[in-house]
Amino acid sequence: MKISPLAAPFPAIPPVGGVEIATARAGFYKHERDDLVVFRFARGTSCAGVFTRHKIGSAPVDWCKKQLGASEGGKDVRALVVNAGCANAFTGKAGADAARRTASEVAKRFGCRQRDVMLASTGVIGVVLDDKKIVARLPEVEHALDGDVPPTEQWARAGRGIMTTDTFPKGSYAEAEIEGYKVRIAGIAKGSGMIAPDMATMLAFIVTDADIHPNVLRALLGLHVRTTFNSVTVDGDTSTNDTCLLFATGASGAPRIGRVGDRRLKSFSAALDKVMLDLAHQLVRDGEGATKFVKVTVDGAASPASARKLAKSIADSPLVKTAIAGEDANWGRVVMAVGKTEEPVDRDRLAIKFGPHQAAIDGAPSPTYDEAKMSAYMKNPEIDITVDVASGRASATVWTCDLTKGYIEINGDYRS
């Protein structure tokens, strides 16, 4: 597929101690491409995850939630196995057995327990994973893990290996400091359609060489996921397979952080948020058929939850999104999206801006509205919409993209 016009370049990623990555072609796709990614972690690697709240979660989601939720779960994770091309969702006991067999075979090769192997899948729903395809490639993968592929290329190959309808691999990197020790954070993500808050149809894998207890990792993910991965939307649909896993190898030499709220985490927490937000923005930039990157901010809401609901209503509205695709500043559609939420709104004080241009103020068209200036602004590849509902002091931001004919073409052809 044609690469998104909003695509971000893949970053340079230096070595992150305690992790090696390899890819292979397992054959889940008919065409020639890598569709299997394996991460191998050092002993003692911590792990935490957040997952879809979709009521029909996939077999790998069930597997990870079970292992990480067990006693001592997430304290010594040794591997992550990801496949593209088959979601292994809505596959019943057969899918669960395939996931378990995959973890078991990888555990035998890496000398660990099967509970220490995390799994993730993405692709078509309703197809049982053929785990034999993965097992057949494990000798090749193991050999590659011991090879000398540069770190940036390892991460880039992994980013490409987990893509489905994505048009570019998504990666991010940041550094932080813990008691004078430099720690590194690197991550990849995939997602293009079926993207909505509450974990979207996305996979995200982040690795740091900091030494952090699983409970602390879990708290950090919970803190940052709300304003990053759970604040993006492409089409309002949430997937069965959403997974974000965070691994801490401890290879940096920095002191172990075992308590939530430890002040030494300040720099690390900020860097983690930066990586997660960067990856989340890239999901939107690769929205199926997208030509516009859109930031929707709601101010003056009665509560944070209300602000979030209002912003999401605007960002998810097909009418708003198609108007943006047509470069039409149709602020009436924004009014519609705000009012249908039934959230507290002061109609007579409502204000709407597109970038720096005031479209409406005090519940009426702005007296300074300039159609020519507004039309010129709407031609930009990045659009800001700000709405003040004048009902309180809370704010929220959601990122989205426009809705074009390309979205229909991609999803009309998805299985064929």
Instruction: Report the DSSP pairing between strands 79-86 and 36-41.
Output: antiparallel
User: Phi and psi of 105, rounded to 5°?
Assistant: -65, -40
Cα–Cα distance measured from residue 158 to residue 138, given in angstroms and rounded to the nearest whole number: 15
Cα–Cα distance measured from residue 88 to residue 2, given in angstroms and rounded to the nearest whole number: 27
Distances from the Cα of 116 to the Cα of 68, 79, 208, 244, angstroms? 9, 7, 18, 16
Residues 6+ apart with CB under 8 A from 15: 151, 184
- Within a 10 A sphere around the Cβ of 186, how many other Cβ atoms? 26
Structure tokens at 277: 């937000």
Structure tokens at 15: 């070595």
Question: Within its chain, how far is the Cα of 197 from the centroid?
Answer: 10
Closest to 228 measured CA to CA, from 196, 178, 276, 192: 276
Cα–Cα distance measured from residue 402 to residue 404, given in angstroms and rounded to the nearest whole number: 6
SS3 86: strand
**Side chain identity at residue 324, one-letter code:** I
Q: H-type helices in 178-265, by residue range?
A: 214-225
Q: What is the DSSP-derived secondary structure letter of residue 310?
A: H
398 HSE (CA, 13 A, CB side): 29
Structure tokens at 370: 């300039």
Q: Is 201 a catalytic residue?
A: yes
Cα–Cα distance measured from residue 375 to residue 390, given in angstroms and rounded to the nearest whole number: 26
Which residue is catalytic, options 91, 122, 164, 201?
Answer: 201
Cα–Cα distance measured from residue 168 to residue 191, given in angstroms and rounded to the nearest whole number: 10
Instruction: Report the DSSP pairing between strands 293-301 and 243-248.
Output: unpaired
Active-site residues, by number, are 201
